[in-house]
Amino acid sequence: MKDKLYFKFKSQQFNINIISIFLMSSIILYYNFYLGGISFLLFLYLIYYNFNLKYKKKNEWIQTMEELSLEIDDTIKQTILRLPIPLCILEFDESISWYNKKFYNMVNKDNILHKNIKEIMPDLSLRKKLNETKELYTEVDFNDKKYTIVYNMVKIKKNKEIKYVIVMYWLDKTEYINLVNKYEDEKSVIALVQIDEYDEVLESANQDVRPLINAELERKLNTWALSLNGALRKNSKDKYTLIIDSKNLRDLEQDKFTILDEIRDIDHGNTLPLTLSIGIGCMGDTHEQNLKYAISALDLALGRGGDQSVIKRKDKSIFYGGKSKAVEKKNKVRSRLIAYALKELILESEDIYIMGHKYPDLDAIGAGIGIYDICKLLNKHANIVIQSSNSSIDLFMQRVEENENYNDIFISREEAIRNCNKDSLVIVVDTHRPNFTECEELLRISEKIAVIDHHRRGVEFIDNAVLMYHETYASSTCEMVTELIQYIDSKTSIDNLAADALLAGITLDTKNFTFKTGVRTFEAAATLRKLGADTTSVKKLFQGDLDNFIVKAQIIKDANIIENIIAISVCEDGISNSKLISAQAADELLNIKGIRASFVLGKGRDDTVFISARSLGDINVHIFMEKLGGGGHIDVAGAQLKDISIEDTVKLLEELILEYLKEE
């Protein structure tokens, strides 16, 4: 910039000097002709000399620039030829018009000039819309290497003709990707392993074979850890910690955690099977975070009945196994402790709200009535939150209205929200999922929440409960509430209607004491019989009319049998009580010889597609329903789907069933 200003200044100074000489020559010529003529000749010579000098300088400058341009062109050519990365130029039809030596070595083929690059690399995909000012990128695998291709369009003008070519730079990122993969493969994964009901399993075997059970268990776990190149540490008699790499975790997922089956096969006369619950935490930012994930995953596995592995990756959980039913606990210490804690919560609360799940069944309403009677025993007023009745509980609701002891016990969601505060006690029965509750808003208002449930735990659960009584071995929530009633007061006495409701809930979930029925189930039923439950009255709650029987018969007739073991059927639209009828039809389908699982679909009032799933126990219907957003137990489960037709739901369910049978 300074040189330019200086040159401009010198030019202006020269012009001033020329003008000055011209004026001086004119003045001298006026006074002396001869002397003035000499001055004019000198003036003309100076002009000639200046223009001649400028012309020579200009030619010298042009020659210098031409020589420099030749040197630059040669440098550019040599640079491109010796570029340390592969480079090629394509015509617009993607044929190769030029390449450097690195590209030739990369391709390792002769006669590639003028060939279409797709013939050499079929997987290569270039965008059709190119831009002179924009670089584009694509990825390609070639000869066991991974490349990032940077390419753009270049305009070339030759002989007054303009054409476009594509210049491609090949960046080999194989080593980088291998390094990233190695880093991901070697990330630490924490697995917490627990033997389910270890003491009960050992007690089920003779004392002389118990060391054999321990020895085989230890051997299989250590062999498993060694096969994964992991480090296994025993923390207590039934708890272990395993550290492995992410690569080994992928291997575990690929073989579907066969260690669960291997441990279950240990048999030395033990009448109860030996099963594992595994909680795995990975993809955390720190080892501490992975440990928290593993603890949460193990809690989830145990809450779902054990005999399974749960992998928790941040907010996502994946489940494997879960083929066994939860083992019934013989010890009732936990029930007694929960009863004491619940009693304290009720006594210190002024407002108590009881609610089950949406569209409550007899197990939910029966458990709610049982908790209501516990509150009455403790001289506390409570309300049951229910928005509306439904076909499965209509008969029972009529009996409640006729009973003077239960006046005004039901309130709507709106009234509950209006009266509830942070000190109110909210007791949730027969569900642990917030969005399944009758009024989810109460869970956000209250700071005192108690949960009583028997369903296998899902990913979503009420995590702010001050009291959590969750037992998957229990046949029903009514069974759990019945046990709590026994420990609330030594002189326990509840209304006959409450006893009927609790027995009806047990009867419903056990399918007349045929499914998931343990010793404690019959003990609870016996207790309710002593408290005044009438089996005839309970039977009447399950009565249906002739039209319902005809609809169920049609559902059974239209059933589609898959692989001779699984039945799928659909309840027609416009049927009242479709949910109840579908559930009963699913139960009836299991009475057909060879059928091990059944699914009946229907449509609710709000166009929601619901599924009632039943099993004899050897096929886990909970797995299917969980994948569809529902849940339940191994032998009894259900789901509700929105924004989907029944036909599409049937197809989706059939795909899940075929996939399950293929894996089996």
Q: What is the DSSP string of 418-463?
A: HH--TTSEEEEES---GGGBS-THHHHH-SEEEEEE-SPP-S---T
Q: What is the CATH number of the domain that holds 260?
A: 3.30.70.270
Task: Looking at the structure, tell me whether residues 469 and 604 fall in a common domain.
Answer: no
| Cβ-contact 443, 464 below 8 angstroms | yes
Q: Does residue 3 register a pLDDT over 50?
A: no
For residue 636, pLDDT over 70 is answered with yes
Distance CA 109, CA 318 (A): 47
Confidence of residue 572 (pLDDT cuts 50, 70, 90): confident
- Look up residue 66 and give its two tokens: 């031409």
Q: How confident is the model at residue 4 (pLDDT cuts 50, 70, 90)?
A: very low
Which residue among 295, 321, 347 closes a domain? 321
In this structure, what CATH number is given to the domain that contains residue 169?
3.30.450.20
Res 23: pLDDT = 76
Same domain, 124 and 256: no
Cα–Cα distance measured from residue 612 to residue 631, given in angstroms and rounded to the nearest whole number: 10
Which residue has 């609790």 as its token pair?
502
Indicate whether 77 and 96 sit together in one domain: no
Which residue, 540, 568, 593, sits at the end of a domain? 540
363 and 473 housed in the same domain: yes
Is residue 327 a part of any domain in this protein? no
**Residue 643, pLDDT above cutoff 90:** no
For 528, 530, 589, 649, the CA distances from 496, given in Å and listed in that order, are 9, 10, 34, 42
- Tally the domains of the chain: 5
Assess if residue 482 is contained within a domain: yes
Is the model's pLDDT at 72 over the cut of 90?
no
Residue 476 lies in a domain: yes
Would 326 be classed as within a structural domain? Answer: no
Q: CB of 349 within 8 A of CB of 425? A: yes
**What number is the average pLDDT over the span 596-608?**
86
Q: Do 288 and 397 belong to one domain?
A: no
The answer as to whether 507 is a domain residue is: yes
Higher-pLDDT residue of 374, 320: 374
At residue 19, does pLDDT exceed 80? no
Read off the pTM: 0.64
Domain shared by 246 and 374, yes or no: no
Question: Which band of pLDDT confidence, cut at 50, 70 and 90, is reported for residue 411?
Answer: very high
Whether residues 504 and 432 share a domain: the answer is yes
Sheet with 425-429, side-by-side order of all strands: 410-411, 383-385, 352-355, 425-429, 448-453, 467-470
CA distance 400 to 407: 8
383 pLDDT higher than 60: yes
Q: Of 48-52, 237-241, 333-337, 564-568, which gets the smallest average pLDDT?
A: 48-52
Within a domain: residue 69?
yes
- Count Cα atoms within 13 angstroms, Cβ side, for 66: 6
Of 28-37, 166-175, 374-383, 607-616, the least confident: 28-37
d(CA 643, CA 40): 103
Say if residue 167 is in the same domain as residue 221.
no
Region of 532 please: left (phi>0), alpha (psi -120 to 50) or beta: left
CATH of residue 561's domain is 3.10.310.30
Where do the DSSP E strands lie in 63-160? 87-90, 96-99, 136-142, 145-158
Instruction: Give a yes or no: residue 219 inside a domain.
Output: yes
Averaged pLDDT, 200-209: 87
Torsion-angle region of residue 326: left (phi > 0), alpha (psi -120 to 50) or beta?
A: beta
Q: CB neighbours (10 Å) of residue 150?
A: 15
Higher-scoring residue by pLDDT: 521, 93: 521
Tens digit of each residue's pLDDT (9 = 90 or more) over 126-140: 765 565 567 888 888
Backbone φ and ψ for 92, nearest 5 degrees, come out as -70, -20
Instruction: Kindly state whether residues 169 and 205 are assigned to the same domain.
Output: no
Are residues 63 and 194 located together in one domain of the fold?
no
Backbone angles phi, psi at 88, to 5 degrees: -145, 160
Q: Exposure of 64 by Cβ count < 10 A (0-12 exposed, 13-18 middle, 19+ buried)?
A: exposed
Q: pLDDT per residue over 450-492, tens digit each?
A: 999 988 777 788 888 889 898 888 889 999 999 999 888 766 6
Residues 6+ apart with CB under 8 A from 627: 656
Is the confidence at residue 7, as pLDDT, over 80?
A: no
Q: Phi and psi (nearest 5°) for 193? A: -115, 130
Q: Which of 178, 207, 231 is the last residue of a domain?
A: 178
Q: What's the mean pLDDT when you consider all of the chain?
A: 85
Between these two residues, 58 and 123, which has the higher pLDDT value? 123
322 or 379, which is more confident: 379
Report the alpha-carbon distance of residue 556 to residue 579 in Å, rounded.
15
In this predicted structure, the answer to whether residue 294 has a pLDDT above a threshold of 80 is: yes
Same domain, 292 and 194: yes
What is the phi/psi pair of residue 248, to 5°? -65, -30
Q: Where are the alpha helices (DSSP H) in 493-542?
A: 496-510, 519-530, 535-540
Percent of the chain having pLDDT more than 90?
34
Domain that holds residue 100: 87-178
- 131 with 247, same domain? no
* List of E strands, 258-307: 276-282
Domain membership flag for residue 508:
yes
Residue 8: pLDDT band by 50, 70, 90 thresholds? Answer: very low
339-367 pLDDT per residue, tens: 988 999 999 998 999 999 988 999 999 99
